[in-house]
């Protein structure tokens, strides 16, 4: 995967502060890549949606079927109702009758929901800060550590130097897991003893990033239970440690959600967005579910944009999320 590749200046210089990190061609490549990842897992993604539009006319039975598919795919009742109401209204206004017309209206509505969260679509053209700090949070087993390894691998491929923080000091195995990835990827991992202070690990990681001239620091945190408020406090403390050194950071607080947990995942996500300022989502294990509708529920109800999708256990199985590509794959 080759995203977050810093724009290359012919003289090798970094882009200026207000210059986009990517050229339009690079943005196009990011979108194509996201499409390829989806094509691999598409059979499982709300697979039956496109088939609704096979008949030339979109009749009443099909509205019911559309509703059933969306709800069964974890879109959530509220978001499904919102989608259907808006699509029906536009169908009435435009007097659309053919399946192709209804399909286009639905497509635009689904894309609009995914673009609605504050900040809009992922800012692939946003300027790249000197040290990009990415905090990764989420419940046990969601896929944080694996996603971090994939991200580090992609960043390395793109010519960046990542440094990883083993701030999940809760379990010895968690530290070892990150270290193993670090060795495999030849990426520096900053770790302390099990039971140590996560804030201290983060502090040392930022120092290491500065010393190495690293471009990105990615912080792995414990798979904390969202019901334990002391653990949320720990996350807030980690954020404060970062901000003392880099007031604008973390630039991304990525919440990793296991796509197979459906509506339960939505509740987890809500707990995290309330406790720490989540700026984006990594939807892991999208390959393991036929219920991709959770993407719309998240965008519609939480207002958090999906940044990346995990489509397998391998290092290459992470792709930037692109709303248009995602929706087109669903309706194909």
Ligand X SMILES: Nc1nc2c(ncn2[C@@H]2O[C@H](COP(=O)(O)OP(=O)(O)OP(=O)(O)O)[C@@H](O)[C@H]2O)c(=O)[nH]1
Q: Hey, which residues does 164 pair with through a beta bridge?
A: 189, 218
Residue owning tokens 């302390």: 192
CB of 232 to ligand X, least distance (A): 15
Q: List the structure tokens of 67.
A: 């509703």
- Segment near ligand X (CB under 6 A); pick from 22-30, 117-125, 127-135, 137-145: 137-145
Size of the site for ligand X (CB under 6 A): 21
CB of 168 to Mg ion, least distance (A): 5
3-class DSSP state for residue 98?
A: strand
Sequence-ordered list of residues with C-beta below 8 angstroms from that of 203, at least 6 positions apart, any chain? 241, 245
168 counts as binding ligand X under rule CB under 6 A: yes
Cis status, amide bond into 109, omega within 30 of 0: no
143 counts as binding ligand X under rule CB under 6 A: yes
Q: From residue 312 to residue 331, what is the string marking binding to ligand X with x (rule CB under 6 A)?
A: xx---x--------------
**Residue 83: in which H helix or E strand, if any?**
helix 77-94
Q: From residue 203 to residue 242, what is the string marking binding to ligand X with x (rule CB under 6 A)?
A: --------------------x-------------------
CB of 268 to ligand X, least distance (A): 12
Cβ contact 211:205 at 8 Å? no
Q: How many CB atoms neighbour CB 84 within 10 A? A: 17
When CB distances are held under 5 to 8 angstroms depending on the partner's kind, the choice from ligand X, Mg ion, none that residue 20 binds is none
The DSSP code for 50 is G
What Rg value do the Cα atoms of the chain yield, rounded?
21
141 counts as binding ligand X under rule CB under 6 A: yes
When CB distances are held under 5 to 8 angstroms depending on the partner's kind, the choice from ligand X, Mg ion, none that residue 284 binds is ligand X
Of residues 109 and 220, the one with the C-beta less far from ligand X: 220
Distance from C-alpha of 254 to C-alpha of 280, rounded to nearest angstrom: 5
Q: Where do contacts with ligand X occur on this chain (CB under 6 A)?
A: 138, 140-146, 168, 174, 223, 256, 284-285, 287-288, 310-313, 317
């Amino acid at each position: 995967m080759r995203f977050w590749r810093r724009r290359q200046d012919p003289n090798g210089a970094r882009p200026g502060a207000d210059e986009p990190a990517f050229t339009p061609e690079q943005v196009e490549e990011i979108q194509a890549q996201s499409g390829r990842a989806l094509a691999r897992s598409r059979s499982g993604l709300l697979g039956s949606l496109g088939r609704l539009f096979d008949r030339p006319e979109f009749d009443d039975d099909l509205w019911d079927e559309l509703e059933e598919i969306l709800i069964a795919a974890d879109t959530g009742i509220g978001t499904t109702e919102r989608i259907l109401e808006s699509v029906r209204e536009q169908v009435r206004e435009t007097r659309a009758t053919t399946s192709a017309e209804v399909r286009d209206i639905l497509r635009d509505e689904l894309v609009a929901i995914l673009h609605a969260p504050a900040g809009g679509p992922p800012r692939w053209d946003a300027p790249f800060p000197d040290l990009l700090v990415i905090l990764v949070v989420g419940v046990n087993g969601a896929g944080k550590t694996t996603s971090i390894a994939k991200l580090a691998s992609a960043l390395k491929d793109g010519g960046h130097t990542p440094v990883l923080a083993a701030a999940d000091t809760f379990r010895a195995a968690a530290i070892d897991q990150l270290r193993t990835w670090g060795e495999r990827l030849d990426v520096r991992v900053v770790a302390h003893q099990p039971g140590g202070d996560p804030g201290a690990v983060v502090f040392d990681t930022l120092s290491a990033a500065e010393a190495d001239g690293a471009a990105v620091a990615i912080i792995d945190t414990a798979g904390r239970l969202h019901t334990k408020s002391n653990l949320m406090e720990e996350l807030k403390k980690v954020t404060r440690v970062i901000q003392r050194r880099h007031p604008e950071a973390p630039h991304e607080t990525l919440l990793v959600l296991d796509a197979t947990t459906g509506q339960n995942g939505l509740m987890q996500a809500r707990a995290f967005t309330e406790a720490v300022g989540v700026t984006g989502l990594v939807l892991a294990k999208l390959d393991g579910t036929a219920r991709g509708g959770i993407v719309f529920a998240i965008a519609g109800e939480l207002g958090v944009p999906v940044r990346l999708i995990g489509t397998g256990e391998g290092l290459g199985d992470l792709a930037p999320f692109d709303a248009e590509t995602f929706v087109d794959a669903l309706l194909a």
